[in-house]
Amino acid sequence: MQKILVRNLQPGMITAEDIYAINGQLIVPKKVILSDSTIEKLTSFAIYSIRVEDEMSAVTPPARQQDSYVDRIKANPDFAAFRSRFEKNVDTLRIGMNRIVDLNSNMDAENLLSQTLSLIESSKGSSISLMDMLLGMREFDDSTYAHCISVSMICNILAGWLNMNENDRVLATSCGLFADIGKTRIPEAILTKAGPLSKTEFIAIKRHPIDGYNILDKAGLPEEVKNAALMHHEKNDGSGYPYGFTGDKISRFAKLVTVADIYDAMTSPRAYREPFCPFDVIDQFEEEGFEKYDADIILTFLRNISNSFIGQRVRLSNGLEGEVIFIHPENLSRPTIKCGDKFIDLTQYKNAKIVSVI
Ligand SMILES: [Fe+2]
Ligand SMILES: [Fe+2]
């Protein structure tokens, strides 16, 4: 084991200790193979040095491409302002949610929601979309609280795509913000565990919808918000938890949170994996989507997400790079790509897929 300055870390080194931020938040657990993004995360938390194993990993995570799509978002001046407001919002939410769990006191839900709504409002008129701002934020904070704010904002955007009225849009934002409040009762060590969960740990995770419902019930939140917390892990075909409800029993707001929640979790980096490329997430939703999720919600979401990548450069699994020029309505994860003077229609050319947006 050796102590090493964060600025001298290299991808492939393995952490020999859990690394915490000043506020006690676990940033990177022990035994994680460092990648460019984990090193960047340690730097952003102003960690000076850490202990690493003497041996490097035999598998070195691929170096992140410089000047990628996300790097360009992060370099935009509007992003810095958004990031600072987002981080303040995370702190307020952390204090607000923990107060109710630790002290059993009343939660000022109204105030927490209005802060998130004003962050959404302030991002309007920026040169980058809110969805892209969130993509840029994911490397900096993967805490439950950052996830709650991110899901809440995706719910707000999705409610707009679904043409919901202003009241329902605010309600959807609130549903997203508080859906995971029950997670504040799960020990941090389980939430951030890098390896597979034991049966008991999985049972603890599966309790959070019911705990969330009870917390929100006590705090006097609207029925829709409580039910979204209770049902956001249920699936249309009855394969979800905690009750295995089928589509007709799951509230529309909960169905909306489900989609936002999965998209946010999959496109966020985890201690044990890099984030999924948005097209991989779209592919996975297309694979299982129509049985497990609400057809109207999932189609609206995927159409809008995939269309937002028209004109973007992407890298394919065969090493070629090109520009997304056409999204096929019947197969959203496999668009047509213009590579030089060639057009590759991924619905026909099944040997390659999009691996990253660059
Ligand atoms: Fe959840
Ligand atoms: Fe979640």
Q: What is the mean pLDDT of residues 28-41?
A: 80
Which of the ligands is closest to the CA of residue 232? 1
CA of 74 from ligand 1 middle (Å) equals: 28
Q: 226 or 273: whose pLDDT is higher? A: 226
Separation between Cα atoms, residue 300 and residue 304, nearest integer Å: 6
Give residue 148's pLDDT: 95
State pLDDT tens for residues 149-174.
Answer: 999 999 999 999 999 999 999 999 99
Write out the H or E segment, with its range, that includes residue 316: strand 313-316
pLDDT of amino acid 11: 82
Q: Tell me the backbone φ, ψ of residue 129, rounded to 5 degrees.
A: -70, 160
State the pLDDT confidence band at 229, using cuts at 50, 70 and 90.
very high
Q: Which CATH class is domain 70-275?
A: mainly alpha
- Bridge partner list, 314: 322, 357
- Could you give the count of Cα atoms lying within 13 Å of 222 in the half-sphere of its Cβ? 15
Query: Percentage of residues in the chain with pLDDT exceeding 90?
Result: 51
Ligand nearest to the CA of 261: 2
Q: Quick one: average pLDDT of 290-311?
A: 92
Query: By mean pLDDT, which of 4-13, 23-32, 258-267, 336-345 is the weakest?
Result: 23-32
pLDDT band at 126 (very low <50, low <70, confident <90, very high): confident
Q: From the CA of 239, how far away is ligand 2's center (Å)?
A: 17
Residue 179 CA to ligand 2 centre (angstroms)? 7
Q: How far is the CA of 306 from the centre of ligand 1 (A)?
A: 24
Ligand with an atom nearest the CA of residue 208: 1
In the block, tokens 């929100």 appear at 216
As a whole number, mean pLDDT of residues 92-101 equals: 82
Cβ(45)–Cβ(28) below 8 Å: no
Neighbouring residues of the ion ligand 2, judged by CB less than 5 Å: 180, 261
pLDDT score of 102: 64
Mean pLDDT value across residues 109-126: 91
Q: How far is the CA of 207 from the centre of ligand 1 (A)?
A: 9
Ligand nearest to the CA of 228: 1
In this structure, the number of other CB atoms found within 10 A of the CB of residue 239 comes to 12
CA dihedral (150, 260, 133, 358) positive or negative: positive
Q: What per-residue confidence (pLDDT) applies to 305? A: 93
Backbone angles phi, psi at 66, to 5 degrees: -70, 155
Contact indicator for 190, 205 with CB cutoff of 8 Å = yes
Superfamily of domain 2-52, CATH level 4:
Molybdopterin biosynthesis moea protein, domain 2 (3.90.105.10)
Q: How close is the Cα of 209 to the center of ligand 1, in Å? A: 7
- Reading phi first (left if > 0) and then psi (alpha if -120 to 50, else beta), residue 329 is in alpha
Q: Which of 93-107, 125-139, 227-241, 296-310 has the lowest mean pLDDT?
A: 93-107
Report the separation in Å between the CA atom of 312 and the middle of ligand 1, taken as the mean of its atom positions.
31
In the reported structure, the alpha carbon of residue 132 is separated from the centroid of ligand 1 by a whole-number distance in angstroms of 22
- Whole-number Å distance, alpha carbon 183 to ligand 1 midpoint, is 7
Angle, CA of 258, 305 and 208, to the nearest 5°: 15
For residue 347, how far is its CA from the centre of ligand 2 (angstroms)? Answer: 32
DSSP character at residue 68: -
Return the number of other C-beta atoms located less than 10 Å from residue 72's C-beta: 14
In this prediction the pTM is 0.81
- Condensed to tens digits (0 to 9), the pLDDT of residues 43-73 reads 777 788 899 998 887 665 555 544 678 888 8
So what's the pLDDT on residue 159?
A: 97
C-alpha of residue 208 to centroid of ligand 2, in Å: 10
CA of 81 to the centre of ligand 2 (A): 25
Which residues fall within 8 angstroms of residue 110, CB to CB, at 6 or more apart?
none
Asked whether the predicted pLDDT for residue 121 surpasses 90, the reply is: yes
